Amino acid sequence: MAASRSPHRMPAGVFPTITLLMLIGLAEAAKRGGLLPVFVPAPSEVAALVWQNPALVSANVLPTLAKAASGYAIAGLITLALGSIGVLIRVLYGPIYNLGVGLHAIPIIATAPLLALTFGNGPQVQITIAAMASQFAMLVGTMQGLQAADARQRELMHVLSASRSQTLRYLLVPSALPYIFAGFKIAAPSAVLGAVTAEWAGADRGVGAMMLYALFAYDTPKVWLSVVLTCLLAAGGYGLWALAERLVIYWERGVELEQ
């Protein structure tokens, strides 16, 4: 009897890459055939802009990346601390969660100009907006994760006479990690989009500033370059956390956050 063979599986990322290349080729052909409107440039025009002026990319991506990462890190530290406090002190659970919901409900497009008028056009505005945009997913992941261990597991640790530190190390933290990683993955693109949106309210450098200036100048290749860079930054942030999750959490993946 012939041994069964497992079907050949394509490496992860091959199919999306092929699909993206096909879409780029179709867009290029459609533009050359006059099928696309004037405000949609050919992919070759966007690529030529990068080739002719590579400093344009680095001069605007690096400031946005720094502000998004700073706001993301600040939000991560605060939400980990507040989420832990809310789980440990039940009377504070509701107020902390409601605070996160309230901040999440504030429209960024309206908050950024108000903060810019109050504090000026410095990077502190973009960092604050990036933190506000990314905090809720991390808060939900932390609060749900620290409650993920069920009563039977907690009872087992009690029967084994585990100390609080041992329970935290061997039960609560491992149970919380999938939820925390899920929250941090979702929050990474939000931090990028928050920083880019905040740059519209006033910034000398950054992807959002480049996009705004290009819109005023009707420079469509540069506008689309800004869109592509924003997508790459957002996808890169998500991908880094997905890779870290794959390396750290090898026993469980794929949890869903309940917001």
Check residue 152 and give its pLDDT. 83
Check residue 11 and give its pLDDT. 64
Q: Specify burial of residue 154 (Cβ count, 10 A radius: 0-12, 13-18, 19+).
A: middle
In the CATH scheme, what is the code of domain 54-248?
Answer: 1.10.3720.10
Q: 205-209 contacts: CB < 8 A, separation 24 or more?
A: 205/59, 205/60, 205/63, 206/60, 206/63, 206/64, 206/67, 206/126, 207/60, 207/61, 207/64, 207/233, 208/64, 209/60
Check residue 2 and give its pLDDT. 46
- HEC profile of 19-87: HHHHHHHHHHHHHHCCCCCCCCCCHHHHHHHHHHCHHHHHHHHHHHHHHHHHHHHHHHHHHHHHHHHHH
Domain map of the chain by residue range? 54-248
- Joined together, the tokens standing for residue 135 give 């905090």
Query: How does pLDDT run across 201-246, given as a tens digit for each residue?
Result: 878 899 999 999 999 999 999 999 999 999 999 999 999 999 999 8
Cα of first residue to Cα of last residue in the chain, in angstroms, is 52
Check residue 8 and give its pLDDT. 60
Check residue 226 and give its pLDDT. 95
The per-residue pLDDT string of the chain (259 residues; one tens digit each, 9 = 90 and over) reads 444 444 566 666 677 788 888 988 898 898 888 888 888 888 999 999 999 998 999 999 999 999 999 999 999 999 999 998 988 888 999 999 999 999 999 888 888 888 888 877 788 999 999 999 999 999 999 999 988 878 788 788 878 888 777 777 788 788 889 999 999 999 999 999 999 999 988 788 999 999 999 999 999 999 999 999 999 999 999 999 999 998 888 766 556 666 6
Q: What is the pTM of this model?
A: 0.85
